[in-house]
Amino acid sequence: MRPWDWVVLVITVVAIVAYGLWKSRDSNTTDKYLRAGKSMPWYAMALSIMATQASAITFISTTGQGYVDGMRFVQFYFGLPIAMVILSMTAVPIFHKANVYTAYEYLENRFDAKTRTLVSIIFLIQRGLAVGLALSAPAIVLTVILGWPDEWTTIAMGIVVVGYTVLGGVQAVTWTDFQQMLIMMAGLAATLAMAIWLLPDNIGLTGALTVAGAAGKLNPVTTAFSWNDRYNLWSGLFGGTFLALSYFGCDQSQVQRYLTGSSIAQSRLSLLFNAVAKIPMQFLILLTGAVVFAFFTFVQAPILFQREDMANLRKDPKYGVLQQTYDRAFTERRDAAERLTAGDESAKAAYVQSQQKIDQVRKEASAITKSNDTNYVFLHFVTHYLPEGIVGIIIAAILAAAMSTISGEINSLATVSVIDIYKRVSSAGTDAHYLLVSRLATAFWGVYAVVTARFAKNMGSLVEAVNLLGSFFYGGILGVFALAMYFPSVNATGAFVGVLVGEAVIFALHFTGATSFLWYNVIGCVVVIVTGVAVSSVTHTRTN
């Protein structure tokens, strides 16, 4: 980090936090603190929804995913527009008319207190685990750039985010998200533009696409079906729809964003904006990863991108042989790529062969160091090749992404803790009392996030870890909401037993390795519905 990078970074972070706190200066009631007094316009909610989902992991890990695995990950989002339409038609009017603070309040209206409590606790466990992952990603950024220990970077990030979330509540979260999303878009555009600009003169974007395409990186649609293939058109459309329905319809960290809307129409528009904008955004992020791959076809990268892992590799007896093989394969690949971009199709076989050698060397190096450096590809590119000032914008964008996700998550965790758990136990307090408890709960979850982030660093590709974690619980939660909204004959016992059986099946699927995690949502949801309907038909007591 050079002086202008620091200037850009510090001004951006201070301005965003100050703006959020200024916009939320009237958060002096529980309703305003947790629901913004239902006053938010659609564009603020739309960018807040997008920013909450687009964490630092999106920048760091998704670009790495594009580099390592190609663009097929974008199919994961194909179900999102379908889910947004379904939610706009059903969940949005239901939640608005029920005038709830959390999605889980609706479950008590429809079923009973124990179902609401069970689903609230599942949310607290799942989102509580994910918030640590979300905080660990920016800690990786700061550690790589500043060389500070993980503990310091995690605590520094935690203090900033928890500070403005405790003070300003959901209004501070939404308005900072709004600004943070704009910074993210600027950072994304700057990165892609710079990645293209830095390509050798005779290569250009077309040459980069030729090289990345020949390596199998430009594959945003793969139609071959397999139950164990994580990302293809079918798992994206079906599994992705169920996952997006669960995340945007049943996860309080997202539901809370559009519950702040001033009307059903405003909330619907915020979701439909995401339906249109999300996939192109992910496409551009993955394309950036693919262009970075093309860049490193002509400029030699280290075997491993993480500095510490590379240092450890150098100490290994096998390092000399690996480095020699890597150097030779790089030269062969670069020569073949130059012929390929000049129109010589016969160079493709040599190019693919040398690429396989490089992949094999990286695989062996990762096995030696017991590391996964997918998350470090993008950071290595940014910090080693981009000019002063631009690095500051991109680091600001990554930190903005991180702050938006963490603030939304701890805000929603606090809301569920207070509304669905605490207020049920202690219902006689004044509004000022619940406002104070909400602030304390926000602070508690912030501290919890800082502590758990310490354990999340070595979980492989963070973006996959987060999605895998969500898939353990989303199918069950979606199933119970589907029962509540679309199966009027199902009673509370059926819903409760359905959730328990659904979760048991999902965990059984995971531990037997029967299918890819995207299908957990579909299968879990179906099991909950079938069990709920069956148990209700046996017990015959409809609860309404």
Partner 1 sequence: MSHEDPPPFLGTWPRLYVAVLIYLVILIGVFHAFTRAWR
Binding residues (CB under 8 A) for partner 1: these are 74, 78, 81-82, 84-85, 88-89, 93, 96-97, 209-210, 212-213, 218-223, 233, 262-266, 268-269, 272, 275-276, 279-280, 283
Cα 341–chain centre separation = 35
d(CA 113, CA 442): 24
CB of 50 to partner 1, least distance (A): 15
375: left (phi over 0), alpha (psi -120 to 50) or beta: alpha
Nearer to partner 1, 231 or 520 (CB): 231
Tell me the three state secondary structure of residue 261.
strand
Nearest CA-CA partner of 46 in 262, 241, 275 = 275
Nearer to partner 1, 18 or 221 (CB): 221
CB of 263 to partner 1, least distance (A): 4
Residue 52 near residue 408 (C-beta atoms within 8 A): yes
Nearer to partner 1, 222 or 354 (CB): 222
Exposed / middle / buried, residue 251 (Cβ in 10 Å: 0-12, 13-18, 19+):
buried
CB of 164 to partner 1, least distance (A): 29
Nearer to partner 1, 54 or 84 (CB): 84
Nearest CA-CA partner of 63 in 244, 194, 192 = 192
Phi, psi of 261 (to 5 degrees): -65, 150
Tell me the three state secondary structure of residue 79.
coil
Most distant CA atoms of the chain, gap in Å:
78
Nearer to partner 1, 170 or 279 (CB): 279
Exposed / middle / buried, residue 262 (Cβ in 10 Å: 0-12, 13-18, 19+):
middle
Nearest CA-CA partner of 402 in 191, 156, 167 = 156
Nearer to partner 1, 20 or 220 (CB): 220
Nearer to partner 1, 9 or 209 (CB): 209
CB of 78 to partner 1, least distance (A): 6
CB of 123 to partner 1, least distance (A): 27
Nearer to partner 1, 66 or 81 (CB): 81
Nearer to partner 1, 74 or 161 (CB): 74
CB of 445 to partner 1, least distance (A): 32
Query: DSSP assignment of 472-524, as one string?
Result: HHHHHHHHHHHHHHH-TT--HHHHHHHHHHHHHHHHHHHHHT-S-THHHHHHH
Nearer to partner 1, 77 or 175 (CB): 77
**Residues with Cβ < 8 Å from 175, sequence gap 6 or more?**
19, 20, 23, 24, 44
Nearest CA-CA partner of 355 in 375, 336, 334, 333 = 333
Indicate the DSSP class of residue 300. Answer: P
Residues in the chain: 544
Residue 292 near residue 378 (C-beta atoms within 8 A): yes
User: Which runs of consecutive H residues, i.e. helices, occur in 70-149?
Assistant: 80-89, 91-98, 103-110, 113-146
CB of 218 to partner 1, least distance (A): 4
CB of 298 to partner 1, least distance (A): 18
Nearer to partner 1, 283 or 448 (CB): 283
Per 3-state DSSP, what percentage of the chain is helix, strand, and coil (rounded to 5)?
80, 0, 20
CB of 222 to partner 1, least distance (A): 7
Query: DSSP assignment of 315-346, as one string?
Result: TSTTHHHHHHHHHHHHHHHHHHHHHHHTT-GG
Nearer to partner 1, 264 or 350 (CB): 264
CB of 220 to partner 1, least distance (A): 4
Nearest CA-CA partner of 475 in 129, 76, 122 = 122
